[in-house]
Amino acid sequence: MDQTLLIDEARARSDNIVALRRAIHAEPELGLMTPKTSAKVRAALAHLPLTWREGPSTSGMVATLKGGAGEGRSVLLRGDMDALPMPEETGLAFASTVPGTMHACGHDAHTAMLVGAAELLCARAARLKGEVQFMFQPGEEGFHGARFMLDDGLLDPLPDAAFALHIMPNAPHGIVAGRAGALLAAADMLEITVEGAGGHASMPHQTRDPVPVACEIVTALQTLVTRQFNAHDPVVITVAQIHAGSTHNVIPDRAAIKGTMRSLSREHRERLADAVRLLAVGIAGAHGLTAEVHIEEGFPVTICDAAAVDFGEATARAMFGPSAFMRLPDPIMGAEDFAYVLDKVPGAMFFLGVAPQGDNWASCCGIHSTRMMLDEDALPQGAALLAGLALRFLDEGF
């Protein structure tokens, strides 16, 4: 099978894949506009027979490879390009040169692997039937980049299938993992402002103190999670910030609570928002105060098509051996904006373990750590897998 040759060809291109990853890593960019990263991608693929589309809302790009064997299926492969607003403490020779910005989620690797996959597939362009779309997307870290690219029409007409690969630094080297159904959670931002009436700390009876009311709301939110929602369709509320007051002897007028709400189904996402509003307003009212609840919707649930996951498992095992794929028993409560694509197109996201071979992978720093590192020897495998998924789908479908 042609797919079995992909890993050898990807390893032969390893130096280029790694060099691109390091160049992107050294110059991380945030948000919806990543012009330096986009330019590196365009330069790396300039010699290939690709057509390009860009939109007004982001620096995202879609490169299309038309097969030389006529009309057929279409498949999309996605790599994200943006970094995180955090310092880097890896000590790597190619560490970030941009203060307070780091590729701590592996998007540099995702982009480099997708470029590698484009190289592998372009080498087979003459025999491909159908087309491959390579989606280079900024703004994954909370900026809804995939949604903007969809709204800009960059994926029109929609492909027949879509795949993405995400590295996992604290997972065994080379293992490919996934699951059918909910893979990652919906994530919404929560902000509750409790309004009272401040005064002197020695006379709390003459005030309407928002601080204990805010604390009561925080505690009640945890009870809400465990008592109103089925544990088999879980939700998570995490309060990450509480702000109130300016000094030790003044009761403030207000207290602010900020956090995140995560859910694994559309039904529970909607119910959770309604329940939080009812709880916060009710507790504040019981104490003679008021509460205002603001919920900013983040990414939806990342739902993987069952047939696409079966397809990915079969592809990974055929390419890398029977032990190459692992079914995840449970969803992960992180979020991912590839969910916007999977909401419209059948497909799946898979994880690739990039812990160094032989290391205790469980002790490796995870994504979003200032010390997150990965074993670059795994990158050719990721490029080969992306290419293999596309190649097999064009040949066979699900």
Q: What is the pLDDT of residue 364?
A: 80
Same domain, 179 and 307: yes
Q: What is the pLDDT of residue 365?
A: 84
CB 124, CB 3: distance < 8 Å: no
| Residue finishing a domain among 296, 323, 345 | 296
Q: What is the pLDDT of residue 358?
A: 75
Same domain, 24 and 149: yes
Same domain, 331 and 204: no
Same domain, 23 and 90: yes
Return the closest-CA partner of residue 212 out of 274, 289, 278, 276: 289
Mark residue 157 as left, alpha or beta (left: phi above 0; alpha: psi -120 to 50; beta: remaining): beta
Same domain, 11 and 67: yes
Residue-wise pLDDT for 36-72, tens only, equals 999 999 999 999 999 999 999 999 999 999 999 889 9
Return the closest-CA partner of residue 80 out of 124, 41, 48, 128: 41
Same domain, 75 and 160: yes
Which residues are CB-neighbours of 141 under 8 A, at least 6 positions away? 30, 31, 82, 83, 84, 105
What CATH number corresponds to the domain at position 88?
Answer: 3.40.630.10
* CA 16, 21, 24, 29 torsion-angle sign: positive
Same domain, 336 and 225: no
Question: Can you tell me whether residue 165 is helix, strand or coil?
Answer: strand
What CATH number corresponds to the domain at position 273?
Answer: 3.30.70.360
Same domain, 178 and 269: no
| Residue finishing a domain among 278, 296, 314 | 296
Alpha helices in 240-286 (DSSP H): 266-286
CB 305, CB 109: distance < 8 Å: no
CB 50, CB 134: distance < 8 Å: yes
Mark residue 288 as left, alpha or beta (left: phi above 0; alpha: psi -120 to 50; beta: remaining): left
| Residue finishing a domain among 296, 320, 342 | 296
CA-only gyration radius of the chain, Å: 24
CB 283, CB 223: distance < 8 Å: no
Same domain, 281 and 370: no
> Has this prediction a pTM greater than 0.75?
yes
Same domain, 25 and 136: yes
Same domain, 83 and 147: yes
Same domain, 62 and 152: yes
**Cis (ω within 30 of 0) for the bond into 210?**
no
List, as one string, the DSSP characters of 92-156: -TT--SSTT-B--SSHHHHHHHHHHHHHHHHTTGGG--SEEEEEEE--TTTS-HHHHHHHTTTTP
pLDDT in tens, the chain (398 residues): 576 789 999 999 999 999 999 999 999 999 999 999 999 999 999 999 999 999 999 999 999 999 998 899 999 999 999 999 999 999 999 999 999 999 999 999 999 999 999 999 999 999 999 999 999 999 999 999 999 999 999 999 999 999 999 999 999 999 999 999 999 999 999 999 999 999 999 999 999 999 999 999 999 999 999 999 999 999 999 999 999 999 999 999 999 999 999 999 999 999 999 999 999 999 999 999 999 999 999 999 999 999 999 999 999 999 999 999 999 999 999 999 999 999 999 999 999 999 988 777 777 888 999 999 999 999 999 999 999 999 999 999 99
Alpha helices in 194-265 (DSSP H): 210-228
Residue 193: domain span? 186-296
End-to-end CA distance of the chain: 17
Q: How many domains does the chain have?
A: 2
What is the Cα–Cα distance from 188 to 394, expressed in whole angstroms?
36
Q: What is the pLDDT of residue 363?
A: 76
